[in-house]
Amino acid sequence: MSGYIDLQVNGYGGVDFNSDDVSVEQITGIAERLCQEGTSKFLPTIITADLDVMIRRIGKVAEAIESSTNAADRMPGIHVEGPFISSEPGYVGAHPISATRSATIDAMDRLLAAGRGLVRLVTLAPEVDGAAEVTRHLANQNITVAGGHSNASLDELKATIDAGMALFTHLGNGCPVTMHRHDNVINRVLSLAEYLHISLIADGHHVPWFAMQNYLQVIPDRHVVIVTDAISAAGLGPGKHRLADQWVEVDESLAAWGQGRKQFAGCATDMNQMMRLMQQHLGAEQSTLRRWTIENPARLIGLSV
């Protein structure tokens, strides 16, 4: 199967979209390579950094998208993940704590302007100051809003859903290893799965397969979205690779570890590998995998398939 639509790609094949040195040619080259490998469309993802740095990086991706009709077809938009996320250790994940900030319409508009109308998806934490207002502002522009890197309460999640939030980003990740055994963000989000699409990284590392099976019993099939969260290491194998301003170590099992090996930092598994793993460990049928990797993500961001 091919034609995957991946809503979260930080880089691939040695190219890091969050590098200040990345070129338009490198970005469009990766778009072509991913298409040849089965991912027909994806959202280049820019993660938390100082606002001016994010603006510069978003602008470079927008330039790449606008460089040709092929590039625009391969990359139908940009995913901005941060900087309006939790600064709490664990919940912040591999994002730099120093660059996290409250959500304001002014800061959001600066990021949108850098994207030249191409930002299709924004991930923020519903509990940060201003999150509901920024969510409403984005939803009114038909930009999909996701919660993520968050320790939002049930009330905060509900308030942001009411404001227009439609997705929760990579459930089971962007949270601490140790949390309350019952009242935690994973269970809160699952309790609202009827109202939210939920993205999952299906590499067997970010979410163990037995937990993935549990999640999939709760999430309506129409709301499951598989993402790779791929970094520059994807497609290369074990070794040390860059993700924005940090080094990531990929081990022999293709788990991508941040500094100190305390948390994952993106993913080194591509969509074809994930498809094989889901067939093997979940027994997922082709029609189901098509919904999770093509139909559901397309509908979420307003694409036709």
SS3 140: coil
pLDDT tens readout for residues 132-161: 999 999 999 999 999 999 999 999 999 999
Residue 291 has phi, psi (to 5 degrees) of -60, -45
Helix %, strand %, coil % of the chain (to 5): 40, 20, 40
Query: Nearest Cα to 70, choosing from 36, 97, 19, 101?
Result: 36
The whole-chain average pLDDT of the chain stands at 93
pLDDT tens readout for residues 169-218: 999 998 888 899 999 999 999 999 999 999 999 999 889 999 999 999 99
What are the tokens at 298? Answer: 């397309």
Query: Strand 15-16 to strand 11-12: parallel, antiparallel, or no bridges (unpaired)?
Result: antiparallel
Distance CA 167, CA 148 (A): 9
What are the tokens at 242? Answer: 């860059």
Query: Nearest Cα to 246, choosing from 263, 265, 261, 233?
Result: 265
Lowest mean pLDDT segment, chosen from 121-125, 158-162, 232-236: 232-236
Predicted confidence at residue 185, as pLDDT, reads: 98
CB of 112 closer than 8 Å to CB of 134: no
Distance CA 221, CA 224 (A): 6
Mean pLDDT value of segment 50-60: 98
What are the tokens at 282? Answer: 């979940």
Higher per-residue pLDDT: 15 or 245: 15
Predicted confidence at residue 243, as pLDDT, reads: 67
What are the tokens at 224? Answer: 């499951």
Mean pLDDT value of segment 242-262: 66
Query: Strand 239-243 to strand 246-250: parallel, antiparallel, or no bridges (unpaired)?
Result: antiparallel
pLDDT higher than threshold 70 for residue 267: yes
CB neighbours of 185 closer than 8 A, spacing ≥ 6?
Answer: 91, 150, 151, 152, 175, 179
Q: Which residue has the tokens 């301003």?
A: 245
Largest CA distance in the chain: 50
pLDDT higher than threshold 90 for residue 250: no
